Structure 1
């Protein structure tokens, strides 16, 4: 198991070295498969529309989605059939994916509370997905759990990202999956990184906004490593 984790981390470090340090520097020289821009200068104005356009299951080929500066207020889902995609922001501070659901509001059109696991801003279900150089946040009021990022896919990787929330910022939500975070800033209040996945954090800054617990791993007994 330890050998498998080491190989996984080494492969992701190689991927990190191949990715641009600053996506903005290469916008003029690199052709992206899809460009998202709120001002209409790209292929799509919304990230979810771009995702829906990606052809499923393209063996051996990665798709690159470049997201220009802007505030994208939308709930984003990368479906299980969407794999091998790199989402690259133009600016870590100014390419922002945001939403404001929290556990104690009602599902639209019903009297049922949303609960923790519907509150995500970003939901990654597909395997081999990366996000780089952008901000993902849940900016709901502090009235309950509010997930910024929910990851179910295997081999997800996040480079140079801000991941912002309060309670339950990141949910690594599926057993026997592996995820990797490098050079990320992650904040929250209570148990703001939680779930059963195996996760490696490399050179990340964790900021606890309260005097509380940072992580709540629910690693199964048969899995040797969690966080």
Structure 2
């Protein structure tokens, strides 16, 4: 196991001083998990995990102390990788871009510190299957967390932002997460393209907080016409608008978007005042969204359960 642990510290006391250097030494096409232990510090550098490097774990001591931070925006990208590799615009501006499958992050903050009004400024883009995030923070304003493709599990995480700050077309389950709405906007912009796709976001037993204002935030709007989002057993404070959802100024989206709530509570939970084209699920309808099977559907080939069972402490030797 020791040979599969790489250490990072800015003061030169570890194997490498940057996270990117540690990722770069992971063998191409690696078949076993590599744990990168990141010492406390604010690492100001964009990070790229290529699709040729799977099974990487980034482990910090605490998300408050271990921060990966950069300030790219869709209009201004400075990166050690070319646009041909990472893409352009919103797609290429993530502080951290993960394209390697079976990625895990624990106790890490992903931050885009571009100021409010900078437009799209992604903290993390995930274009990879079977990724899990435990006790992580995602900090930014617009387009903070880009769950673009694949299946992702987030537990005990904190996500903040304003406009469309959890968005993309992955299949994601956010469990026991804290969603913080910093200013006027939309929590989600899920982009499912057709009713045949199994993608969507489920927020299970989460908490939504605001900045002290009332009725300034929508739960979501459909970036794709069949956008699918479920909030279940979630506390919503008064920042959530009573109508709940937005059609992105396209009435035709109201026929196809799948925006659901189930057993939510708090001053922002107002089933009787929601838009007529969003739904409160009944028990039988909600069942498919209330467990890990939403993102880990094949009991013969589970991916999430092994990730949750094998926890590698920061001090592992």
Q: Shorter-chain-normalised TM-score: which range?
A: 0.7 to 0.9
- Alpha-carbon RMSD across the aligned residues, in angstroms, is 1.9
- Rg larger for: 2
Could you tell me which residue of structure 1 aligns to residue 109 of structure 2?
135
Q: How high is the TM-score relative to the length of structure 1? A: 0.80
Matched-pair contact (CA < 8 Å) for 2:58–2:108:
no
Secondary structure of the residue that 1:214 maps to in structure 2? strand
Per-residue CA deviations over 1:181-200 (Å, capped at 9, x if unaligned) read 00000000110000011000
Shift of 1:217: 0.1
For residues 99-178 of structure 1, the aligned pairs below 5 Å read 99-105=70-76, 115-142=89-116, 143-174=118-149, 177-178=150-151
Q: In structure 1, what is the Cα distance between the partners aligned to 2:9 and 2:132? A: 23
Secondary structure of the residue that 2:185 maps to in structure 1? coil
Could you tell me which residue of structure 2 aligns to residue 75 of structure 1?
46
Matched-pair contact (CA < 8 Å) for 2:5–2:35:
yes
* Count of residue pairs the alignment pairs up: 191
Could you tell me which residue of structure 2 aligns to residue 27 of structure 1?
none
Could you tell me which residue of structure 1 aligns to residue 187 of structure 2?
214
Matched-pair contact (CA < 8 Å) for 1:144–1:167:
yes
Shift of 1:211: 2.9
Q: In structure 1, what is the Cα distance between the partners aligned to 2:30 and 2:96? A: 23
Per-residue CA deviations over 1:22-58 (Å, capped at 9, x if unaligned) read xxxxxxxx88610000011100000001000011223
Q: In structure 2, what is the Cα distance between the partners aligned to 1:67 and 1:53? A: 15
Per-residue CA deviations over 1:159-196 (Å, capped at 9, x if unaligned) read 0001101000011112xx11110000000011000001
Could you tell me which residue of structure 2 aligns to residue 23 of structure 1?
none
Secondary structure of the residue that 2:200 maps to in structure 1? coil
Shift of 1:107: 6.1
Could you tell me which residue of structure 1 aligns to residue 62 of structure 2?
91
Secondary structure of the residue that 2:189 maps to in structure 1? strand
Matched-pair contact (CA < 8 Å) for 1:88–1:133:
yes
Unaligned regions of 5+ residues in structure 1, if any? 1-29, 109-113
1:48 alignment partner, one of 20, 33, 43:
20
Could you tell me which residue of structure 1 aligns to residue 237 of structure 2?
none
Could you tell me which residue of structure 2 aligns to residue 186 of structure 1?
159
Secondary structure of the residue that 1:71 maps to in structure 2? strand
Q: Bigger relative contact order, structure 1 or 2, given CA contacts below 8 A and separation 6+?
A: 1
